[in-house]
Amino acid sequence: MTTPSGEPGGVTEAEWSAAVEAVRGLAPGPDGDEIQLVCHVNPDGDALGSMLGFALGMRRLGFTRVRATFPGEFELPVPYQNLPGLDLLVPQDEAYARPAIVLIFDVAAVSRLGDLRRLLAAPCVIVLDHHASNTRFGGVHLVDPRAAATSMMVDGLLGRLGVPLDAQIAECLYVALATDTGSFKFELTTPAVHELAARLVATGIRPGDISRRIFDTRPFGAMKLAGEVLGRACLDPTAAGGRGMVWTYATLADLDRFDQRPYVLDALIDPVRSVAEADVAVLVKQAAENEWGVSLRSKGAVDVSKVAVALGGGGHRLAAGFTGYGTPGEVVAQVRALLDQSLTFST
């Protein structure tokens, strides 16, 4: 048996069986067990797509008491406002009080659950994730750091539960897979990723329409905002032992000036990380006064998950994040100080 990454290891057969048996032990129907799904704060395409795809799968199995939620303000980025299964999504204060089972999607650490960490008291907690920094909280761990997206773990579990992929489930899982692989460009884009994508597309979903909606549609103001944020980028060629770092920042005042929501900033890490003169790219996004959400990317010389974990966050070797405090300059200085210690090879 292989894992979703297509290689042996990762998730054991005992863990898959524990998850399957936990779900099969639940009572379906309108008087059945309450099933609570949760993903991380500020949910991205993988978190939402994986969670909603699984929620729809549970409905197909006859479970009617299924709710999905995430911590914090109940606001979805515009590109995800057409996902199938959104009727199963509720604000965090409408999550079940005492669900029989909790399934957690794309969450590497309890800090990403906010007030919903109370759900960890449920009798059964299953964690589906692919972050190398996963702290192995919860009861059953379907965690494979070599999987490109949490949606691959969802596909593995739905398959073992006998749920066929239909177009609605497939659209959710495709959005998850396409966003976490950067449209099938990142290093974990394995044969298993394309094999799953092939099965998803075979259900009749339209990848062109989905990609246009998710990746290639933004308000005019978002484009103008991007111009300003990219225009103030700084290049530090001596950082990371001479491999270089490029960084920029965006404030809440920037968002206000162009009347934009925070999600429009997420895509800006891509032009920043394309800079040839820098291995490391940093995007510092204001969350509150003196509080910043920091995105880190590496081309390979630096393990940015080490930097993120050292600063209280997490992620993957080439893509990670953390919450920073102070001014953008102070936050970037903290990153810079850790970069030399996080080089993955030296020349």
Q: Helices 150-160 and 13-24 meet at what angle, rounded to 10?
A: 60
Beta bridge partners of 284: 249, 294
Binding-site size for Mn ion (CB under 5 A) equals 4
Letters for 87-116 (x = contact with Mn ion by CB under 5 A, - = none) are -------------------x----------
Single out the segment in contact with Mn ion by CB under 5 A; choices: 173-181, 184-192, 203-211, 336-344: 173-181
- Residue of the chain from 180, 266, 279, 303 that contacts Mn ion (CB under 5 A): 180
**In degrees rounded to 5, what are phi and psi of residue 234?**
-120, 140
Complex with Mn ion: residue 34 or 106, whichever CB lies closer:
106
Residue nearest to Mn ion (CB): 46
Is residue 144 involved in binding Mn ion (CB under 5 A)? Answer: no
Letters for 150-169 (x = contact with Mn ion by CB under 5 A, - = none) are x-------------------
CA distances from 238 to 47, 143, 245, 290, 332 (A): 36, 37, 8, 27, 14
Single out the segment in contact with Mn ion by CB under 5 A; choices: 71-79, 144-152, 277-285, 332-340: 144-152
Complex with Mn ion: residue 315 or 328, whichever CB lies closer:
315
Q: Helical H runs in the chain?
A: 13-24, 45-60, 150-160, 167-180, 191-201, 207-215, 220-231, 239-242, 252-257, 263-266, 269-273, 304-310, 328-339
Complex with Mn ion: residue 144 or 180, whichever CB lies closer:
180
DSSP 8-state symbol, 238 = T
Cα–Cα dist 89/26, whole Å: 20
List binders of Mn ion among 189-228 (CB under 5 A): none
Which tokens hold the place of 35? Answer: 């099933």
Single out the segment in contact with Mn ion by CB under 5 A; choices: 44-52, 112-120, 213-221, 338-346: 44-52
SS3 content of the chain, % helix, strand, coil (to 5): 40, 20, 40
Complex with Mn ion: residue 127 or 225, whichever CB lies closer:
127
Complex with Mn ion: residue 40 or 59, whichever CB lies closer:
40
Is residue 46 involved in binding Mn ion (CB under 5 A)? Answer: yes
Position 168, amino acid: Q
Single out the segment in contact with Mn ion by CB under 5 A; choices: 53-61, 180-188, 265-273, 303-311: 180-188
Complex with Mn ion: residue 50 or 168, whichever CB lies closer:
50
Length of the chain counted residue by residue: 347
Is residue 33 involved in binding Mn ion (CB under 5 A)? Answer: no
Footprint of Mn ion (CB under 5 A): 46, 106, 150, 180
